[in-house]
Amino acid sequence: MTREERLLAAMVEAVDTLVDDFDLIDFLHRLCERCNDVLDVSAVGVMLADPGGCLQLIAASDEHTRLLELFALQTDQGPCVECHRSGTAHLNIALGSPVQTAGYPRFAERARQAGFATTHALPMRLRQQNVGAMNLFDTREQDLSASDAGVAQALADVATIAILQHRTIAHGNIERAQLRAALSSRICIEQAKGILAERWNTTLDNAFDALRRHARAHQQTLSALCRQLIDGTLDTSTLQRP
């Protein structure tokens, strides 16, 4: 597909929020994949705010990025954290620049250790509703062009609208219930990834990819599949190994 077609596909995916079995985590992982593809960045992470306003990591494009984003939350510093607080984009941050990373030196050092050279943070916000933030990482020392920055914000905006739309359609209290369910599912998914990775003697990323492919192929939610693996009711020989 052309770049425009891939961007359109990402927009169309937001319509999935109108179906009853909408899977928030899978939707946000697809958002990460779309950003990687359309924007040609190395990695993506998505954080959503819980009912108390604290950020929680919900999706990341790979294991290294997930750990880096968790470090940002633990230390309460980083572009994504600052972006959520201010509600404004933080673009073209050179992780090797002490001036640009003065507010989060520990995060910048950890990001460089992970192999990243540049990062960008975009707010997931609609009017006064601040849902979270999306972080882009690149291993190359290059800035986002003005057009790419616009595309990145458009993708973040679409995801924000999709999340808020789904919450509104379900019921007034869906924000709390959905995020609690997502965080519970996240724990379940991490356990299942670890079990499968150890069983197959492979990486966590490979195990996660296999679980997602199987869930999609069998029209099953990712969290339900992972619960089956954990409680021993899933025959892992039916999973396609990497």
CATH number, residue 22: 3.30.450.40
In the predicted structure, residue 17 carries a pLDDT above the cut 60: no
Neighbour tally for 53: CB within 10 Å: 9
- How far apart CA 119 and CA 42 sit, in angstroms, is 10
Query: Residue 9: pLDDT above 90?
Result: no
Residues 146 and 203 in one domain: no
Mean pLDDT of 222-237: 92
Same domain for 151 and 32: yes
Each residue's pLDDT tens digit, 210-226: 999 999 999 999 999 99
Note whether 151 and 187 are same-domain residues.
no
For 154-212, what is each residue's pLDDT tens digit? Answer: 889 888 888 887 666 655 555 667 777 788 888 999 999 999 999 999 999 999 999 99
Is residue 176 in a domain? no
pLDDT at 102: 93
178 is a domain residue: no
Residue ending a domain, choose from 120, 142, 170 = 170
The mean per-residue pLDDT over the stretch 25-45 comes to 88
User: Number of folded domains in the chain?
Assistant: 2
76 and 97 belong to one structural domain: yes
Residues 232 and 159 in one domain: no
- Does the residue 19 lie in any domain? yes
Q: Are residues 84 and 34 in the same domain?
A: yes
CA torsion sign, 133 to 62 to 43 to 34?
negative
Other Cβ atoms within 10 Å of 58 Cβ, number? 22
- The residue with greater pLDDT, 200 or 37, is 200
Residues 28 and 148 reside in one and the same domain? yes
Continuous H helices in the chain: 3-13, 24-39, 63-75, 79-86, 105-113, 146-170, 174-200, 204-217, 222-231
Question: What pTM was estimated for this model as a whole?
Answer: 0.75
- Structural domain including 84 reads 3-170
Residue 136 lies in a domain: yes
Q: Residue 60 corresponds to which tokens in the numbers above?
A: 């990341």
